[in-house]
Amino acid sequence: MNTALKNLIAGAGHVPADRDYARRTLASMDLTSLGENDTDEMIIDLCRRAITPVGRVAAVCLYGRFVPLARRRLAGTGVKVATVCNFPHGGGDARKAVSEAKAQVAGGAEEVDVVLPYKRYMAGDTDRAVSLIEQVRSVCGETARLKVILETSQIRSLRMIEAASRDVILAGADFIKTSTGKVPGGAQLDVAAVMLSVIAEMQPKMNRPLGFKPSGGLKTVADAAGYLYLADQIMGRGWATPETFRFGASSLLDDVLRELGEAETDTELGDY
C-alpha cells in the first residue's frame, strides 16, 4: 500500500460526524434485518422505519421469504428491496445458489447480495469460486443489481482482497461488499481503501456503474463518515450516491436520526 493511501486511511479515522454526513448516510443505507427468528411483523416494522421524517433509506435488506411482503409495503416509496444469497457461509454449491437467486428475483428482489465462496477462493480454487458469481449474475440479468460479499475479515490479506475485488467485478458484480455481519470482524477503513481503489481502476473498463458497500460494525455517523471520506477522496466528491455507495447496517439508523434531531428508540435489530 502506497504512502498516499495510508495517509488517506489515517485521515478517514478522524473524520467527525456532522449533519451532512448523517444525511448522506441515511440516503445510502441498506436498512437490514437478517435474524433467524425474523417475522412478518418485524419486517413490516423495518419497512416503516425505512421512511423517516428526514428522508428515506436506499433499500431494505432481508431474507428472501420476506421479499414479496417488503415489495408490497414499500411500493411507490423509492426504497429498494434487497435480499441475500449463498448466505452467510459462502458455500460452494453453485446450483443451489443459482436456484436460490432465481427464486428471489422471481419474487421481486431488486438487489441480490451474494456471498463469494471465500474459503474456496482463499484455498486457491478461485475459478470455481468466481464461477458461482458468474452464474448468479446470469440469473439476475438486467432485473436485479448484484452485490458480492467478500467476507473481508476472513480473507484478511489486503492483496487477496484486491484480487478478489477485481475478479468478482469481472464476473459481473455491480457492487463489492465487505462483510455478512455474521462472523467476527466487519468493515475496516484499510480494506475499504483497497476496494475503492480497485473500483477506481476498473470503472473505466466497465460498461456499467460499479459500487461499494461497507457492512458490519457500523453503528454511528462517525463510523460512516470515514468511509464516505475515503469515497470522496478516491472516487471524487459526488460519486458516493445511493447508486454507487451503500451502508449495510441496522442500528446505524438510530444515530443518524439523533444527529438529525429525530431520535428513535426502537430496539436494535442487530449488526449486519
Active site residues: 113, 177, 213
- Give the CA distances from residue 113 to residues 180, 246, 265, 268, in Å, rounded to whole numbers and listed in that order: 9, 12, 28, 22
The set of cell numbers assigned to 133 is: 458469481
The set of cell numbers assigned to 264 is: 428513535
Distance CA 93, CA 1 (A): 34
The closest of 17, 9, 29 to 245, measured between CA atoms, is 29
Distance CA 168, CA 253 (A): 29
DSSP 160: H
Distance CA 234, CA 9 (A): 11
